[in-house]
Amino acid sequence: MSEFAIFWEWFAFAVRFLHVITAIAWIGSSFYFIALDLGLIHRDHLPKGAKGEEWQVHGGGFYHIQKYMVAPDKMPKHLIWFKWESYATWLSGFAMLAVVYY
Task: Show Cβ contacts of residue 51 under 8 Å, excluding neighbours closer than 6 positions.
Answer: 40, 42, 67, 68, 69
Q: Is the pLDDT of residue 87 over 70?
A: yes
Residue 73: DSSP 8-state: S
Residue 41: DSSP 8-state: B
Q: At what angle do helices 2-38 and 84-100 cross, to 10 degrees?
A: 150
> pLDDT value at position 50?
87
Q: Taking the model in full, what pTM does it have?
A: 0.78
- Residue 92's pLDDT band (boundaries 50, 70, 90)? very high
Question: 52 with 40: CB under 8 angstroms?
Answer: yes
Q: Which of 45, 14, 63, 101 is nearest to 54 (CA)?
A: 63
- Residue 1's pLDDT band (boundaries 50, 70, 90)? low
Q: Which residue has the higher pLDDT, 1 or 59?
A: 59
The mean predicted confidence, pLDDT, of the chain is 91
- What percent of the chain shows pLDDT beyond 90? 68
